[in-house]
Structure 1
């Protein structure tokens, strides 16, 4: 399915053999792209606005989820991973970085947070 408007374009593609779903929308001056793909359980979403950019990417192969958001001059990355019983979360902002790691092997829970130049 493809629809096109005057100066604005909207494309939509759906495919269900192999479980694939793609959607793409584009607007005048402001761009909005969305792509979802479900073969191999991967979902990517990308949004772009006038002067500001927001990217979000989620990936679910092997129980891994990565999310990345980017705004105007500021970047936030979040990554979660659940192989074994380990969960790692990492967030990064403009000039400041926060890392959080939790681990649940045996009966042990470790949490580590790190900020800009300071660790506790």
Structure 2
């Protein structure tokens, strides 16, 4: 991710939004959570797998960012299906779009490497 925190147009468009972060790469997960906090969001997680993400849905996230392939190449289907069932919008942030379940390929995607601006804009578009 490209750091955009010093750009004057990088304001807090996600102010107060609770965003679940599901990403198995430790460094990418921490960077994404920090980006969301700088954009005014309240990150939930990050967590590396569906097993850890599902219980966090009790915290009623407003939206989520999900990597399409998780720890040990676990598909994201379990968490995206549950988010869909609950009506929680989500953004797929992935380097492997082919791993997105066919029933969710119409969902918004940021292809890695994505810039901070792209991720924040895509999340903001989920709720506007």
Q: Same fold (TM over 0.5)?
A: no
* TM-score, normalised by the number of residues in structure 1: 0.23
Q: Which of the pair is proportionally richer in helix?
A: 2
Whichever of the two has the greater Rg, that structure is 1
Q: Which of the pair is proportionally richer in strand?
A: 1
* TM-score, normalised by the number of residues in structure 2: 0.22
